[in-house]
Structures are given as C-alpha cells and as structure tokens.
A = this chain, B = another copy of it.
Amino acid sequence: MKELRIGLVGYGFMGRTHSNAFLQAPRFFDLPFKPVLKAVCARNAERAKAFAANWGYESIETDWRKLIERKDVDLIDIASTNDTHHDIAIAAAKAGKMVMCEKPLGRNAAEAREMVAAVEAAGVPNSVWYNYRRVPAVVLLKRLLDDGKFGRIFHYRAKFLQDWTISEDLPQGGEGLWRLDVKVAGSGVTGDLLAHCIDTALWLNGSITEVSAMTETFIKERKHNLTGKVEPVGIDDASAFLCRFGNGSLATFESTRYARGHKALYTLEINGEHASAFWDLHDLHRFQFFDHKDEGRVRGWRSVHVTDGDQPYMKQWWVPGLQIGYEHTFIHQFADFVQALGDGKTVGPTFRDGLATDHVTDAVLKSAASRKWESVPS
C-alpha cells in the first residue's frame, strides 16, 4: 500500500490528538494509504525527541522550514499556535505538500484568504481540524437535515461555555496559556470556541448573512508569563451574537470562559418545521431528536444513544451501547481525508470552509466594536 508520509508541526494538546488519529485511523478504517509518522517538528529538540519516541515519529526537525523541504514528507500537519498557521501553510502549499491545519485557519480572514489562495493555487489537498463535524451524533444530524427531515429551519442556537480563566491570578501568554495572548491567538473565545460553533453551523444550516455581536474582557490585566509584567488583556473573554442565516432562520451564539461549572459545554440546537434536534459535547454520543410525526400521546424528545452500527462511523468501533470518546472525532476526520484522497475527492472542512468561519468571526469582532449589525462576506 502506498504510504502517506506525515510531518507534524507542534507537540501540544493538538499534536497529541492528531498523532493519535494518524495511528488509530488505519486500525479501524479501511484506508487506501498507509499513514507513516515521518517527523515531528518543534523548536525544543529534547521535547520533540520525547514526543517522537512516544508516538513513533521516525525523526524530528526543529525548524518547520526544514520539515517542509523534506522530500520524504507528503503532508504537513499544523498543530502549532495560531500565529504560525499562515506562514507554515503557505510555505507547505508552495512546496506541493498536502496541508492539514488546526483551527482557526488564520488569526483573521485576511490571513485565511491568503492560505486558501496558496493551497488552491498549488492544487494540494487541504483540511482544517474542525473536528466536531465528525462526532457521530453531529453527522447523524447532518444526514437528517440533508434528507429533509426538518423542513424549513426557523432557529439555530449554539454556545460553548468554559470556566478555566475566571481566576484573576491566571497569567497570560507562554506555554499552555497562549490562548490568552491576543498576538498569538488572534482573538479570545471568538476564534477559539465560537469558531467551532460557527463551522458546525455553516455546515449544517448554510451561510450566515449578518451579525450583531457583543464581546467583553472581564479581567482587564494579567501578568504576562513571557515578559513577567502585568499587561492589558487583549482577548475577548466572552463573545455573543445574534445572526440571520441565508435560509431565513434566526440564531443566537455565545461563548465564554467565565461560565462556572462548565468545562467544554458546546451545545447546539436546531428547530425546523417538522423536527428539532439538540446536541451537547459533555454527553457527545447522545442525540436529542424530536420528530413531529410521532404519535400524539407518546410524542417526546428521543434520546438517541449513537452507538449502533447503522449510525455514522459506529460500525467500525465496538458494539451497541458502548461509547467512543472525544479523540475519535480526529480519527474520523483523518480517515475521511485519506479515503477522499484515494477517491480523488475533496472532503470538508477544507481551507475554504475555514475561511468562511473566519469571515464570520471577523464580522463578530467588527460588530462588537462598531455596535452595529455587520454583514458577512460570502
């Protein structure tokens, strides 16, 4: 079997989830290429070596430009901080490599637009790791929507609630905390959490035409880990918006890191003429479904435990009733990407899909500043 030789940039949380996907996908899915973990790249050679040893990468690099130059690498996977996505992706595309990139694609739509241009000019397969599109319950929802089970859509709502930055003592910047550093992250919860909600929404419910948003930074100053100084916080701690979709439906979106008691509560709900559905990342294999056709007196929301073989991806895993985990969403995305490669097809979310989300997050931040409704470029 032909090999798909992977070079990974970054060894943090996302470096782990991606590496796990590269290793697990071929054991559970029938893939047309054999993934080979060729090299991992990180500035700190010691850590890169340890990571390589743990995950089975054959070699390391300490400069991503070197990694891209390597002839024995087919695919560059970007799992490093947001401020690095743009340059690495464009260089990789120019070198003719396939590119997979952690979300958000760019720190803003301007960066993302150039990244899209690069991969499309180079004609290389590309993907953004909006992994929640590969939760079996979410895929089931997509299929039901595509099958017309919902009819006209009236409402969409999504939120992503966390609580890990409430303490004033939490510093910003540096390892593990770069998401609080606006220069590195690009934005706060808007690009980190809302971006997930938006990507799923665009996939499920089509384009967003205009938004009215508000953002807030609750803790105004934090010590910066790299400079050691107390500095203004540049990110948004919370971000919410109203919007209208192209299909005429209305929506509310919200994300925050100040919702005490919630760790990663990404929820979404869609209300259509004939059906409604609800999903919650904290209980990610339950799919709540209401079908208006159900008989009156026993009409109710169904709690669908998505673990059966006739439900998306589940035939590849265990037996009915037995759940999979969070990391499986990455395995699914990688498996789909590789299968599409074999078929000569494209599978989303592509860089172009990532740009669409960045257009929305840009509009959200713009609206929060302008205090007006802002339209979303299509």
Which residues on A are within 8 Å of B, measured CB to CB? 13, 17, 20, 23-24, 26-27, 54-55, 140, 143-144, 154-155, 157, 159, 161-164, 166, 212-214, 216, 218, 238, 240-242, 244, 248, 250, 252, 254, 256, 258-265, 271-276, 281-284, 286-287, 289-292, 294, 296-305, 307-308, 310-311, 317-328, 371-373
Contacts and interface: CB of A to CB of B under 8 A. Distances in A.
Nearest to A30: B54
Contacts of A328: 325
B261 A276 contact: yes
A70 B189 CA distance: 57
Contacts of A284: 323
A321 B252 contact: no
Given A260-B276, A320-B263, A326-B322, A302 B301 contact: yes
Contacts of A144: 298
Nearest to A154: B258
Given A218-B154, A260-B274, A260-B276, A326 B318 contact: yes
25 contacts: A27-B55, A140-B297, A154-B166, A154-B260, A155-B256, A162-B321, A241-B242, A242-B242, A250-B256, A252-B254, A260-B272, A261-B275, A261-B276, A262-B271, A263-B307, A263-B308, A282-B305, A299-B304, A300-B302, A301-B303, A302-B302, A318-B326, A323-B326, A324-B325, A324-B327
B258 A321 contact: no
Given A154-B256, A259-B271, A282-B321, A300 B304 contact: yes
Given A213-B242, A261-B276, A283-B286, 8 more contacts: A144-B298, A157-B159, A282-B323, A300-B302, A302-B303, A317-B327, A318-B326, A325-B325
